[in-house]
Amino acid sequence: MLFAASVLGAAPGTLPSRAAETPGPADAAALIAHGKSLFISYGCGWCHEAGGRKQGRGPQLMDTQRDDEFIINRIVGGSPGRMPAFGNQLVDTDIRALIAYIHSLKPET
């Protein structure tokens, strides 16, 4: 799908060049916190249970083998009958935050 390219202004599965910058620890924590907030507010946990740590109606996101391109395209374009598209509701920084959150998922202790 080319949804990510049209919404984010980048090649499919990539984010604008500023996304390549490595955030500092405080910035990374803020990005993850923003992603978690978006995950909760958009109801992602309805399908991706335990904050994405368990499979539910949707797949487990923790330790996903999917690459960022796939995840971005799925967030932006959805999957008919399975996942709504969020491309019209999220900006590139939101999508980066969701990716950061997904990559940060660890088992709950």
pTM for the whole structure: 0.76
In a domain? residue 9: no
Domain that holds residue 64: 47-109
pLDDT digits (tens, 9 = 90+) for 77-104: 999 999 999 999 999 999 999 999 999 9
In a domain? residue 30: no
Phi, psi of 14, rounded to the nearest 5 degrees: -120, 155
Rounded Cα distance between 67 and 48, Å, is 17
In a domain? residue 28: no
In a domain? residue 19: no
Alpha helices in 9-91 (DSSP H): 25-41, 49-52, 68-77
In a domain? residue 16: no
Asked whether residue 5 carries a pLDDT value surpassing 50, the answer given is no
Q: What is the CATH number of the domain that holds 61?
A: 1.10.760.10
Residue 35 CA, chain-centre distance (Å), reads 7
Percent of the chain whose pLDDT exceeds 70: 76
In a domain? residue 4: no
What pLDDT score does 8 carry? 44
